Chain A
Amino acid sequence: MTRSDDPFAGVPDAAVLVAFANGDGQAARVLTARLLPRVLAQATRMLGNVAEAEDVAQDAMIRLWKMAPDWRQDTAQVSTWLYRVVANLCTDRLRKRRGAVSLDQVAEALDGSPSAAAQMQTKARMMALSDALAQLPDRQAQAVALRHLEGVSNPEIAQIMDISVRSVESLTARGKRALAALMAGRKAELGYDDDQPE
């Protein structure tokens, strides 16, 4: 949707959400165009799987629609609320995945052509990252993903997770160390034989 297609151009997301709750026929289309790409991207980075990420994105948006009549504009930003919902939905799925390794089926698909091989390696790395996130405690996984996959600042993560900035720093530091240790065991299959990032 271009800016000229947006009948709510310049209107904050929260106000468009209130319009949706009041029955506005354009509000859902506008909010979907504004919010769905970021929701889907966050879920894809955490889960390493587009199909699963699409289900999470749809679920997160349903929750947004349902809570529209109760939305209080003075409490939180819609984007902050969505970060939290998506992070929670993703850790729910990662928890179920614990113990099951999905990398093998991805690696088997390598066909030898350089671009396809590079693409598959990226996919394999994303899946390995997601599997490693699944091994972390939920709060660590959420904090690490928000900080290092979404690039969210520590104060905003504190707001999203409803904890102190100091707790965010602690969670991200411990989470990153644990992730590095988990990924170290798979560096050969992920193309990091020489200990140097490519």
Chain B
Amino acid sequence: MTMTNPNEDNLDDIFAQARAVQVTPDDDLVARVLADAAAVQAGFTPVAVNPSSGFWAGLMEAIGGWPALGGLATATVAGLWIGVAPPASVADLTASYLGDEVSVSLFATDPGFDIGEMVDG
């Protein structure tokens, strides 16, 4: 035989009443919740690239805007300069890998340089 605890019986009765409570969100609460949702969702949009702004605007946004573009331009010019006029250390490194050093100057630094010499061999 099982003894029931009257205090727990009362509690079970109160639990049952609590479960039966019906609560419907009123219009004001729904409006507040939807306003919050709109505000939060609006904060998501700057992350997305606007398709109407075109390819270049999208690319600019993707790489981080003008400051990033400035850095990119500097790096590009520096790379071009190193390619055109390599420092000695770079030239040495090239020679050690390729076994021979071939240097072609784009600048006519020698006043006696004549294209005819190359043609005549």
Q: Chain A residues in contact with chain B, CB under 8 A? A: 20-21, 23, 28-29, 31-32, 36-37, 40-41, 44-45, 50, 53-54, 57-58, 61-62, 65-66, 68-69, 122, 125-126, 128-129, 148-151, 176-177, 179-181, 183-184, 187, 190, 192, 195-198
CB contacts (< 8 Å) of A150 on chain B: these are 19
In the complex, are the beta carbons of B33 and A176 less than 8 A apart? Answer: no
User: Quick one: which of B10, B15, B36 has the most chain A CB within 10 A?
Assistant: B10
CB contacts (< 8 Å) of B118 on chain A: these are none
How many A-B residue pairs have C-beta atoms within 8 angstroms? Tell me: 113
B85 at the interface (CB under 8 A from A): no
In the complex, are the beta carbons of B48 and A23 less than 8 A apart? Answer: yes
CB contacts (< 8 Å) of A125 on chain B: these are 14, 17
In the complex, are the beta carbons of A183 and B6 less than 8 A apart? Answer: no
**Docked complex Cα distance between A31 and B37 (Å):** 10
In the complex, are the beta carbons of B40 and A129 less than 8 A apart? Answer: no
In the complex, are the beta carbons of A66 and B40 less than 8 A apart? Answer: yes
Interchain CB contact (< 8 A) of B37 among A32, A122, A196? A32
Q: Which residue of B lies closest to A21 (CB)?
A: B44
In the complex, are the beta carbons of B6 and A195 less than 8 A apart? Answer: yes
Say which one of B21-29, B75-83, B105-113 lies at the interface with A. Answer: B21-29
B103 at the interface (CB under 8 A from A): no
In the complex, are the beta carbons of B24 and A37 less than 8 A apart? Answer: yes
**Docked complex Cα distance between A50 and B9 (Å):** 26
In the complex, are the beta carbons of A37 and B8 less than 8 A apart? Answer: no
**Docked complex Cα distance between A183 and B18 (Å):** 15
Interchain CB contact (< 8 A) of A58 among B23, B32, B44? B32
Q: Which residue of B lies closest to A48 (CB)?
A: B18
In the complex, are the beta carbons of A126 and B17 less than 8 A apart? Answer: yes
CB contacts (< 8 Å) of A179 on chain B: these are 11
In the complex, are the beta carbons of B41 and A20 less than 8 A apart? Answer: yes
CB contacts (< 8 Å) of A196 on chain B: these are 6, 9
Interchain CB contact (< 8 A) of B29 among A20, A40, A128? A40
Q: Which residue of B lies closest to A20 (CB)?
A: B41
In the complex, are the beta carbons of B36 and A37 less than 8 A apart? Answer: no
**Docked complex Cα distance between A36 and B29 (Å):** 9
In the complex, are the beta carbons of B44 and A23 less than 8 A apart? Answer: yes
CB contacts (< 8 Å) of A41 on chain B: these are 21-23
Interchain CB contact (< 8 A) of A32 among B21, B30, B44? B30
Q: Given A21-B44, A36-B30, A197-B13, verify A181-B36 contact (CB < 8 Å).
A: no
* A112 CB → nearest B CB, Å: 21
Q: Give me 22 A-to-B residue pairs in the complex whose CB atoms sit less than 8 angstroms apart, sorted by A's number.
A: A20-B37, A23-B41, A31-B37, A32-B33, A32-B37, A36-B33, A40-B29, A62-B36, A62-B40, A65-B37, A66-B40, A68-B44, A122-B21, A129-B15, A148-B15, A149-B15, A179-B11, A184-B7, A187-B7, A187-B10, A196-B9, A197-B10
